[in-house]
Amino acid sequence: LTLGMIMGVGNHDALRHHVPVAVRNGLTVPELEELVYQAATYLGYLAGSSIRSTIAEALQEPDVTAPSP
């Protein structure tokens, strides 16, 4: 819910901060991908593309290890 709300308001700094927290709490990459698909549907392709880029950047942080699905 938190990630969806952050995506909806377009706060990429907060999204970059919350993605690693969500991953540490057990959110998987396929679940993140589904969030991006839903965001693109409701917020538009450009917003979805930007959100996808932000999530990809957040997942590249050295302390982020995504769990297996």
How far is Cα 55 from Cα 28, in angstroms, rounded to an integer? Answer: 12
pTM of the model: 0.85
Please report the sign of the dihedral spanned by the C-alpha atoms of residue 61, residue 2, residue 68, residue 41: negative
Q: Select the more confidently predicted residue: 26 or 64.
A: 26
d(CA 25, CA 39) in angstroms, rounded, equals: 21
| pLDDT confidence tier of residue 64, bands split at 50, 70 and 90 | confident
